[in-house]
Chain A
């Protein structure tokens, strides 16, 4: 049997509502201070994927960075209920810049 990991979704109530039906672990966040607790909880058990809504990624940037150097969990930013503000793209852009030393990719798309 392959090792199985859990899926977690962190976000504001309305946006994560649907994921509840899929049996993902849901963390709701109302204040930025709760971010540390959530990181600790995510560390405690084995998560394969963690989805953060853009709002969470904006308010608690630590959540995005906490697992950056580990192979798992994979953290991805998803748009919240109001639609995307392009936070995920900004993040990728930063990673590309760090790796390549120049912004070679997104310049034409702005």
Chain B
């Protein structure tokens, strides 16, 4: 690579200073990367377990609604579900993991005194069971969504940090080292040139005296 610096002592000092800085930055970023990775792996493990649990539960809960529909008229079912007074809300706050803002979500159901959002007339017990089953799963589902979102956001940050670490490690730091070496060599060369010139001059002076 071509190096475009003037080979002076000043430049050498500046380059060495930058090198120290780059190395410090590299170390810090690397620590950040390690820490992020630790969090990330923990989350991934948690996500896997949570997902398995939720999927299994949901696969059991959803067909319950179909069964419920089979035991009552379609209109009654639709009606029962449509008049639902329940209001699912999500309470969101944010949390900081290694300077990445991640959401914390909680499921809030309005008017929670009554999970069955309809009257008992015309609805079957199967529907009650189905609703109850689902109500139990939803908090887990929301948690799963939160964890997956966190993983997504952390993954983004991880990738960015990794790229920076690599840029420093494989580009910036080697370049600076190369530049410093180049300047040192150039300065040595000038030094040697000076020395020979002095020796030559001394020789000429001595010859003249003789």
- Interchain CB contact (< 8 A) of B131 among A6, A21, A78, A100: A21
Residues of B within 8 A of A50 (CB): 145
Give the total number of A-B pairs whose CB atoms are below 8 A apart: 156
A49 on the B face (CB < 8 A): yes
Within 8 A of B (CB), among A75-106: 75-76, 78-81, 83-84, 88-89, 92, 95-96, 98-101, 105
In the complex, the answer to whether A92 meets B84 with C-beta atoms within 8 Å is no
B169 on the A face (CB < 8 A): no
A23 on the B face (CB < 8 A): yes
Report Cα–Cα, A96/B149, bound state, in Å.
Answer: 13
In the complex, the answer to whether B103 meets A74 with C-beta atoms within 8 Å is yes
Q: A-side binding surface: helix, strand, loop or mixed?
A: mixed
Chain A contact-residue range equals 35 or more
Residues of A within 8 A of B69 (CB): 17
- Interchain CB contact (< 8 A) of B90 among A49, A83, A99: A49
In the complex, the answer to whether A74 meets B146 with C-beta atoms within 8 Å is yes
B35 on the A face (CB < 8 A): no
In the complex, the answer to whether B134 meets A2 with C-beta atoms within 8 Å is no
| Nearest A-chain residue to B156, judged by Cβ | A69
B16 on the A face (CB < 8 A): no
Interface centre among A51, A96, A99, by most B CB within 10 Å?
Answer: A99
- At the interface with chain A, which of B5-13, B19-27, B91-99, B194-202? B91-99
| Nearest B-chain residue to A88, judged by Cβ | B51
Distance of A93 from chain B, by nearest CB (Å): 10
Interface bits B65-86 vs A (CB < 8 Å: 1, else 0): 1100100000000001110111
Seen from chain B, the residues whose Cβ lies within 8 Å of a Cβ on chain A are 37, 40-41, 44, 47-48, 51, 54-55, 58-59, 61-66, 69, 80-82, 84-94, 101-103, 105, 107-110, 117-118, 130-131, 134-135, 138, 141-142, 144-146, 148-149, 151-156, 158-159, 162
14 contacts across the A-B interface (CB closer than 8 A): A4-B90, A14-B62, A17-B66, A18-B64, A23-B110, A49-B142, A69-B156, A78-B54, A79-B58, A79-B62, A92-B44, A92-B148, A99-B162, A100-B37
Seen from chain A, the residues whose Cβ lies within 8 Å of a Cβ on chain B are 2-7, 14-15, 17-24, 47-51, 68-69, 71-72, 74-76, 78-81, 83-84, 88-89, 92, 95-96, 98-101, 105
